Amino acid sequence: MLKQDKSTEQQYGYFDDQKLEYVITSPYTPTPWINYLGNDGFYGLISNTAGGYCFYRDPKFRRLTRYRYNSVPVDNGGRYFYLNCDGHQWSATGRPVHTELDEYRCHHGMGYSRFHASKNNIATELTSFIPLNTKAEVHRLTITNNNDNAKTIDLFSFIEWCLWNAEDDGTNFQRNLSTGEVEVEGSAIYHKTEYRERRNHYAFYSVNHPIDGFETDRETFLGPYRGFDSPIAIEKKSTHNSVARGWSPIASHHIKFELGAGESKTLVFVLGYCEVDAEHKWQAPNVINKAPALLLQKQFDSSEKVATELQKLADYWHKLLNKMTVNSPDKRFNRALNIWNQYQNMVTFNLSRSASFYESGIGRGMGFRDSNQDTIGFAHMVPEKVKERILDLSATQKADGSAYHQYQPLTKKGNANIGGNFNDDPMWMVLSTANYIKETGDFSILDEMVIYDGQEVATHNHFDHLERAFNHVVNNLGPHGLPLIGRADWNDCLNLNCFSEDPNESFQTTQRGASDVAESVMIAGQFVLYGQDFVEICQRIGKTDLALASQAHVEQMRQTVEQQGWDGEWYIRAYDAQGNKVGSHECSEGKIFIESQGFCAMAGIGTEQGKPLQAMQSVEKHLTTDFGIMLNQPAFTRYSKYLGEISSYPPGYKENAGIFCHNNPWITIAEAMLGRGEKAFEYYSKITPAFLQDVQQLHKTEPYVYSQMIAGKDSANPGEAKNSWLTGTAAWNYYAATQYILGIRPDYEGLIIDPCILPSWQNVTIAREFRGARYDIELHNPHGLSKGKIKLTIDGHEVDGNLIEANRYQGQHHIVAEIIA
């Protein structure tokens, strides 16, 4: 048993910061606590009991294994390893067999998960990961006999195939239950359902050891009316070598062996995906071309080869996480920024909101607004991937400057089922592009030729796309001079043009009327904030006239918000389709919303009149709870067709007065800009998992990553979280903590040092890689300030201002930044 850190040990697990792991000590966590495997197109979701599934690029069209959402019991289906010894049956991952283990641990690490189990002195260690640049999951299983005498062990692997349209899998049973096809050759089971027709890809599950039997038919393996917790094959310690023809194909290997006292045996299982050229599909009539599969199997046919790939994965993550590290007086802050927040940033960047235990990946692809925002937490790690992603998103834009709300990762085409007209979407691309340029100094992204939707050949560059995004706001203003909201802005559930009275309609894709009245103050604040970035980009590439014209639009919008978007103590949220205010003291419910407070304050609208400070005081008074900042108050208790989906949720959940974590960092940033370091840190820490270890049972979701939503004060269970992992909270809270609390902020000329920290922090050190240099930065705070002027020395030489000019430095440099009054 690993030595536990008693200071962080909790009911279900603890952090092991040295090994970059979260160690789970119970197979019965409040919800399945998962990890993500893979980072280059092939991905796996794996729970603390090995539940989940994997897919290549697209979880809808290229999902290898089946997973049952919302099933009872939860987390039903996965990669299972069953053991039977002396009549005792158990699982190497804690479940699905419910036998109580003598020992159980799951170590979720960076791109891998490791499971320890022991029963009757038979110990197993399973390490599951996706090697770099590999279209396969690898599962290394070591079994050790710690008894004083020899033991005979029957081992069974198990996965259930689903390599067809995953949406169709849940509806078209009459077809899917008739199409299953497999091949078995040696110790490999090949899944070739639909391969004979339009598919040029197949999957396989292999083991590097001779097998004593196999099953590929689910009912034969489980037995009639049995579940994964009690397969008849495990009970009888036998297999029938079934070959699936239709019904539900699976892959299960049976291996029987004897271990002497103290003896161990290691097996390597590979779950892989292969594509072949259409003209080379077959090696014989109706026999698939196994050449690529055999190559994959050979890559991982020994424990030594697996160990080499695991080390490569560890080195990869060590390099990525070292791009920026922080050592502050608060180890929870360090843990979040140095390990888990950056790790989650990678996952959200790769998958947007498409595949989790809450999102099936079937109805959603890569979100336009989501993916643009995700880049701000990831640009420092792998900037070349961020550039590619921004250009992919740019190619889903329409010629009028609007954009498809989502695109499918397999085709990179816009998702026509969802469409567009979410009017905040275009300006997010200005944020992602500006942030990328500030991080890299690479203005060449603006010159990349990118198609507009429907084009075969690109006729305009990416800068033209930004200009049209900017003008999409300018060209779509409502009666008050504020931006039209369209179907919705950032808040997908504020549907001011839907007017739905039909329960069969989608709030977010239904629209009635011309939508030329309902306006968003949040988009107005967004336009002012990122419009200023667009202006500066124009200036820096010599488009002076365009910069001046664009600045005029920004200033006009700033004045409009001050005149039409201020409610006396906070910023109004919107105007509905009847021209009535939303998020105003005049409203009976939903008087104040978080989104417009965050964006208008970040944009500095009304600073001279003290409006951002007043808005933050109103947020504290009306929206703050012990678990974070609620989206709105008072909660809506009645459905209103003029508001849409937001009023359909019970009070305290999701957008109806839930703590929607994604927008909490906007308030953190606004508070830091105002110099209120204690308040900024308070808001940051209230939703950051590293600070919530004492409420695991209440919080329920994974205690190492952010969740989308935490139930608000009006709910039945305030503080309970939902929808973990794939949330914009990850990128935004990292951005807020690094660029505004620590104040290490990339800009066009270099790194700006502008911290707003806790007054009690006297010293903080940060290491930051930036444009070919590595800076070891010391923040000194001898006077106990949150914010102040910066006295900056670089390699012992004092410089004016607080900017480290990037073009002057390469290699290693020592920075001292002292906060002075």
Residue 427 to residue 524: CA distance in whole angstroms? 10
Work out the angle between the directed axes of helices 729-736 and 677-687 (0-180°, nearest 10). Answer: 150
209, 267 Cβ separation under 8 angstroms: yes
Which tokens sit at 101? 């283990």
Instruction: Tell me the three-class secondary structure of 196-256, residue by residue.
Output: CCCCCEEEEEEECCCCCEEEEEHHHHHCCCCCCCCCHHHHHCCCCCECCECCCEEEEEEEE
How far is 183 from 195, CA to CA, in rounded Å? 12
Biggest alpha carbon–alpha carbon distance for the chain: 86
> CA neighbours within 13 Å on the CB side: how many for 280?
8
DSSP annotation of 97 reads S
Neighbours of 203 (CB within 10 A): 28
Six-digit token string for 136:
């396969």
Contacts of 644 (CB under 8 A, 6+ apart): 488, 493, 494, 495, 496, 498, 500, 507
Tokens of residue 102, six digits: 């003598």
| 9 to 4, 48, 591: CA distances (angstroms) | 7, 17, 41
Q: Are 779 and 754 in contact (CB under 8 A)?
A: no
Contact call for residues 795 and 783 (beta carbons, < 8 A): no
Question: Which residues share a beta bridge with 793?
Answer: 798, 816
Cβ atoms of 569 and 619 closer than 8 Å: no
Q: Please give the DSSP secondary-structure letter assigned to residue 276.
A: -
Catalytic site residue from 154, 370, 424, 492: 492
Distance CA 31, CA 544 (A): 55
* C-alpha distances out from residue 164 to 161, 194, 243, 645, 809, Å: 9, 8, 19, 33, 52
Alpha-carbon span 12 to 14, nearest angstrom: 7
Specify the length of the chain in residues: 821
- C-alpha 669 chain-centroid distance: 21
Distance of CA 358 to the CA centre of its chain: 12
CA atoms within 13 A of residue 341's CA, in its CB half-sphere: 30
Q: What gap in Å lies between CA 224 and CA 380, rounded to an integer?
A: 53
Please tell me whether residue 414 adopts helix, strand or coil conformation.
strand
What does the alpha-carbon distance between residue 188 and residue 194 come to, in Å, rounded to a whole number?
A: 19
Confirm if 785 and 759 have CB atoms less than 8 A apart.
Answer: yes
**Non-local CB neighbours of 64 within 8 Å, separated by 6+ positions:** 53, 54, 55, 56, 161, 162, 163, 191, 203, 271, 273
List beta partners, residue 204: 190, 272
> Residue 315 class from Cβ within 10 Å (0-12 exposed, 13-18 middle, 19+ buried)?
exposed
Going by C-alpha positions, the residue among 9, 727, 660 that lies closest to residue 353 is 727
Amino acid at 376: I
Secondary structure of residue 46 in the 3-state scheme: strand
CA 652 – CA 14 distance, rounded (Å): 29
Q: Which class for 512: exposed (0-12), middle (13-18), buried (19 or more C-beta within 10 A)? A: exposed
- At what angle are helices 594-602 and 664-673 packed, to 10 degrees? 40
Q: Alpha-carbon distance 332 to 5, whole Å?
A: 13
Q: 492 catalytic, yes or no?
A: yes
Residues catalogued as catalytic: 492
